[in-house]
Amino acid sequence: MKIAVQCSSPLLQKSLELFLDKHLSTYSKCDIVVRDEPCLEDEKCFYIGSDASANLKKPFSKAQLILALEKCHLELNSQEESAQTHNREKLNPAMDFSILENRIETLTQEYQANIIRAVKAFYEK
């Protein structure tokens, strides 16, 4: 989990940087952006504030912060995975495996014939 911190409050910015030192990353490489102002357009935004729309309400502990961020990260990953699955289903609707099954059957028969030929050759000597 890579996290970027962008807060207008210097005190909150420094506190979050200390709490999240192992997870800090740049904005361009991060999974989640922690902010102290509401952000509607950014889906990877994690809002910390006092109002009801906040992802995490002030005051909070380091453990509460980590747990809330992990939950947010899991939700973002599950949304991303479901979108990828949906895109794959669009590209490959109801794949026909008959060609693959026929190829496997042919290879199996060839393999069986080679084994029988090898065994016969061994015992005919």
Each domain of the chain, given as residue ranges in start order, spans 3-94, 98-125
The Cα 120–Cα 74 span in angstroms is: 59
Amino acid at 4: A
| pTM attached to this predicted model | 0.60
Which pLDDT belongs to residue 85? 66
Amino acid at 30: C
Range 3-94: architecture per CATH? 3-Layer(aba) Sandwich (3.40)
What pLDDT tens digit does each residue of the chain (125 aa) get? Answer: 899 999 999 999 999 999 999 989 888 888 899 999 888 777 889 999 888 888 889 888 889 999 999 888 888 888 777 666 666 666 555 566 778 888 888 889 989 999 999 998 888 87
| β-bridge pairing 45-49 and 32-35 | parallel
